[in-house]
Amino acid sequence: MKKIYMILLGIILFLIILAYTNPSEKQHRQEVLNSIIFEDDKNKLDDKTVEYIKNISNENNLIKTLIKKYISRDNYFLFSLTKSKLKTKKETIGFGILGKVFISEEKIKKLEEQEYNSSEDGLISSNQSSEISNDSGEKWLKSIFRCKGSVKYCMPSEEEVCSERFLRFYENSWEINGPSNLTDEEYKSAVKKYKEKWSPIYQLYDSEVYLFGGGNGGTTTLKEIRVKRISIMKYDLTIEFIDGSKTNDEITLIPHNNSYKIDYVKQTKDFY
């Protein structure tokens, strides 16, 4: 009989713990926010940068509009579900229990697609739509290509617009992929160090990469710059040169001193 009481007491205590640690709506929304911002990159950033991005994002009208508009919590006392309203349908995108919230990355991608289509569908007001279109990262990325005191476009200084970490990675990749005087043994050792140091942080370059089309045969006169947001902190950048050639890159930004820095450039199309 005593054993039965102990089992019942254990069950009751466990239920109390479940109820007490059931994640709040704020926790559910924060985890959705984290999933949207960082995607697969959170583990590649140091804690200070992660916290800074969270703080910046919490003040960002674009993100606040998205989260408040679409994310809610269904409370079942012992656990809870993260709900997203996609058009007229409410869908479960996460599960919360014991103080943790687990979000489906596949559902998050659908949520981001909804954000782009919502204005046309009438799900976001004109004011909210304006907030979304006024993306500060997109504005900054366009601004770095403006010539000082002119409406024309110019090549930005890599040292001024890129993060120190990305510049070190970029320089290191050139040591591996560019011209080299290293012996075969020295080269193998350098490649090993390169992979060990940078593969946990970036997608490695396996060939020579010129930032912003810098290797276009000396052509640096720009005709047009087009920027389109892919997801939060990621942008599609198309540079058209005066001779008609173009390059296309995927740019990753990080916050820096109330502005931004470029923290990765993925070349998608090189001179077409």
Residue-wise pLDDT tens digits, 113-128:
555 444 434 444 444 4
pLDDT of res. 59: 47
Residue 134 has pLDDT above 90, yes or no: no
Surface-to-core class of residue 134, CB atoms within 10 Å of its CB (0-12 exposed, 13-18 middle, 19+ buried): exposed
Least Cα distance to 227 among 138, 106, 101, 125 occurs for 138
Instruction: Match 């390059």 to its residue by tokens.
Output: 247
Residue 214 has pLDDT above 80, yes or no: no
pLDDT of res. 267: 80
Mean pLDDT across the chain, nearest whole number?
77
CB under 8 A, 24+ apart: contacts of 179-188? none
pLDDT of res. 179: 84
DSSP labels, 23-72: PPHHHHHHHHHHHHHHTT-GGGS-HHHHHHHHHHHHT-HHHHHHHHHHEE
Residue 129 has pLDDT above 50, yes or no: no
| pTM for the full predicted model | 0.58
pLDDT bin (cut points 50, 70, 90) of residue 270 is: low
Question: Is 176 in a helix, a strand, or coil?
Answer: helix
Spatial separation of the C-alpha atoms in residues 94 and 118, rounded to whole Å: 21
